[in-house]
Structure 1
Amino acid sequence: MQVKVFDTTTELDSYAAGLFAAALKAKPDSTLGLATGSTPIGIYEKMIELYEQGELSFKYATTFNLDEYVGLSPDHEQSYARFMNRHLFAHVDLPAGRSHLPSGTAANLEAECAGYDRMLEEQSVDIQLLGLGHNGHIGFNEPDRALQGGTHIVELEQATREANARFFDSLDEVPTQAITMGVGSILKADAILLVVKGADKAGIVKQALQGPITTEVPASLLQTHKNVTVLVDREAGRLL
């Protein structure tokens, strides 16, 4: 595991975007695992800049997102499908139909999970972008006695819903469930890029990277992967 600490989030975002640009230059048809939330927004902005400068192209790429809220349609303002279009897809040359997110409004959610796993088996992820929740979740894999390996439906913890409430008009509007790629699927990626920002994440960063490997801190399972790069700003990495 390689850990890099940056003085500013701007430097971090530029470095992360550069890693994706390098991956796509080396392998234009790469399969990218993407994340949502506030952490990757700056990275996507830098990717768009590189695309506009002719330094990055998604023309032959395929993307898979980690998760989606159950019950939100793709055109809902707070759906992750809408998030990805707003912050990345609408601004680059990724072909229509080459971006994949699990559907939170599928008539049969279990079948949706199984179908997403089949696609991930057919087209493995070259580089997976991850953020880190305050409770150690990656994707929407919440702390538990055991974790599911494949795509599944998860009950969101109250703390997770409260953390995401800032994106909604009220806590009551935050969905109570999500469909998420499992930790097993995440760990199948050839390379993993974990990005963490902010002093409020310093404690969980230390637990995830240096604490015991436990399903109670899902991100700690990243310690078992052979190719993980961790990018943190100075505040998030202050306890390392």
Structure 2
Amino acid sequence: MQVIIFDDAQQVADNAAQWVAELITKKTNPVLGLATGSTPISLYQQLVLKYQAGEISFKNTTSFNLDEYLGIDEDNSQSYRHFMNENLFNHVDINKAKTFLPTCSQGENPREQGLRYEEMINNAGGIDLQILGIGANGHIGFNEPTSSLASRTRIKTLTQQTLSDNSRLFSPDEFQPTLAMTMGIATILDARYVLLMATGENKAKAVKDMVTGALSAVCPASALQMHENAIVVLDKAAASQLDDKEYYLWADKQNNKINEEFGLYHNY
């Protein structure tokens, strides 16, 4: 696991944007795994700026999102389809017909829809780079604590903490879903590269459990310890509970020398 610590959240977004930009520039048909939530917004803003400056194109990119609420139409302002349109897709040259979310409409069997999503990812050649955030309880996607580390795309019941954390996004009289479709932990681990962004002191405990805690379903993000190419990009606040921060800073300097000569990726 490569841990990179920056001074602030903007530097986290800038670095994450470099990883995405290099992938979609150098690979002919890149496949991105995308995330929603407050943390990736700054990443998407940087990608839009790079596109507007003519530095990158999403023309040949396929994307798969981590999750989507159950029981919300894609035109609903609370849907993750709407989130992605507003924050990225509407502002770049991506073909929306090649942007996918794990949806499950009224009357559809969520188990069958989960299998279908897995098949779609496989047919696309797998995910090259999966973007992640982390919940204060250690969840990735909507894989809540006690989720199986071998799980695949499926329906999940959201915890009270997640519902409370997300309630700020819903008005008091607005329907807030308690169920969601999400990629499983094993699905996430299948990505060739995983890049997790975390900012703010409220994520520090989850980050510590993920990086140096036990491999446990209690902290789903700890499964990234098993990933060959996991990159964890933090600001100082999110890294505040980590031990050996000096080592991570030292190691990053050494990695930068290799990256400058050979690029960020060692394979696709």
| Range into which the TM-score falls when normalised by the shorter chain | over 0.9
Q: 1:30 to 1:106 in 2, by over 3 A?
A: farther
TM-score with structure 2 length normalisation?
Answer: 0.87
CA apart distance, 1:170? 2.7
2:234 counterpart residue number? 232
1:187 counterpart residue number? 189
- Answer yes or no: is the 8 Å Cα contact 1:59–1:95 preserved in 2: yes
Q: 1:226 to 1:94 in 2, by over 3 A?
A: same
Partners in 2 of 1:214 and 1:171 — Cα distance?
Answer: 37
Q: 1:145 to 1:166 in 2, by over 3 A?
A: closer
Partners in 2 of 1:193 and 1:96 — Cα distance?
Answer: 23
Which segments of structure 1 move beyond 3 Å, counting only runs of 4 or more?
145-148
1:201 counterpart residue number? 203
1:49 counterpart residue number? 49
Q: Which deviates further from its counterpart, 85-94 or 142-151?
A: 142-151
1:136 counterpart residue number? 138
- Answer yes or no: is the 8 Å Cα contact 2:70–2:179 preserved in 1: yes
Partners in 1 of 2:2 and 2:8 — Cα distance?
Answer: 18
DSSP 3-state at the match of 1:173: coil
2:153 counterpart residue number? 151
Partners in 1 of 2:73 and 2:53 — Cα distance?
Answer: 33
- Answer yes or no: is the 8 Å Cα contact 1:5–1:237 preserved in 2: yes
CA apart distance, 1:111? 1.8
Deviations 1:17-76 (A, max 9, x none): 111001111103100000000010000000000000111110001000000000001001
CA apart distance, 1:148? 5.1
CA apart distance, 1:106? 4.7
Instruction: Look up the equivalent residue of 2:204 and give its one-letter code.
Output: A
CA apart distance, 1:12? 1.2
1:28 counterpart residue number? 28
- Answer yes or no: is the 8 Å Cα contact 1:106–1:112 preserved in 2: no
DSSP 3-state at the match of 2:33: strand
2:72 counterpart residue number? 72
CA apart distance, 1:208? 0.7
- Answer yes or no: is the 8 Å Cα contact 2:102–2:114 preserved in 1: yes
1:90 counterpart residue number? 90
Residue 111 (structure 2) pairs with residue 113 (structure 1) = no
CA apart distance, 1:145? 6.3
CA apart distance, 1:173? 2.5
Structure label with greater radius of gyration: 2
Q: 1:168 to 1:130 in 2, by over 3 A?
A: same
Partners in 1 of 2:155 and 2:89 — Cα distance?
Answer: 25
- Select which of 175, 178, 182 maps to 1:176: 178
Deviations 1:178-230 (A, max 9, x none): 00000010000000001001001111100011000001110000000000110
Q: Which deviates further from its counterpart, 91-100 or 165-174?
A: 165-174
1:8 counterpart residue number? 8
Structure 1 unaligned runs (5+)?
none
Partners in 2 of 1:60 and 1:137 — Cα distance?
Answer: 31
